[in-house]
Amino acid sequence: MTGHGKIGVVTGGGSGLGRAAALALLDQGWSLALAGRREEALEETVELSGAGPDRVISVPTDISSPTAVAALFGTVRSHFGRLDLLFNNAGAAVPRRPVTEVPFEDWSRVMDTTVTGTFLCAQEAFRVMRDQTPRGGRIINNGAPSAHSPRPNAIAYTTAKHAVLGLTRALSLDGRPYTISCGQIDVGNVAPVDGSPQPPAMQADGTMAVEATVPVARFTEALLLMASMPLDTNVQFLTVLPTTMPYIGRG
């Protein structure tokens, strides 16, 4: 099943997994609005896709702002007429530090983007999906293995991804009466798209190790599987990671 005739929103669509997701969905026939802070990066994704404005638009958005998020989904309604998919991908990365050394600014940045931004986008998408005809749609949240099992020196990221896990469960429950499904994809180490070597990561025992990776295609294949399901079926949680990557017990 492809996305021909289906409309989606991808946040963080200007780089990384957001760009990879957008290009894969467009290739499968979806039409998309790409959201993110950097207009130039979003336009680069549009250019890479080769799709016209009837299929893809870029909407520069600060997803931590309720006003900006409402404007994003207003643009989607006016341009495409409906919404079938939200991929809540955008997040914020900060340096890993021991708990006692985490600046409040880093904590706030991660929470504002990863937690508040995910909630605000889900809230607006929920409103559109609830009120449109035919009713319903799908929300996919980008979680992480850290939503279930933490890494050392990553308290802000771990806390934010645990919050996303709670959002996923709440949205899945509250969406039932409106044919709105919500699932979460948790992807492990993805090989850098620029071909650079994988940097070492701190292990639970404090040592450093270079961990295994998977190509970004493993991620997009999993996302497309989730997105292609009919609305009577939900992939609630899907974890994709290298077989030898530390995760279960982080060892």
Active site residues: 157
Q: Which residues pair with 180 in a beta bridge?
A: 137
Say if CB 83 and CB 77 are below 8 A apart: yes
Peptide bond before residue 197 is cis, with ω within 30 degrees of 0: no
Pairs from 42-49 (Cβ < 8 Å, separation ≥ 24): 42/13, 42/14, 44/14, 45/13, 45/14, 45/19, 48/19, 48/23, 49/22, 49/23
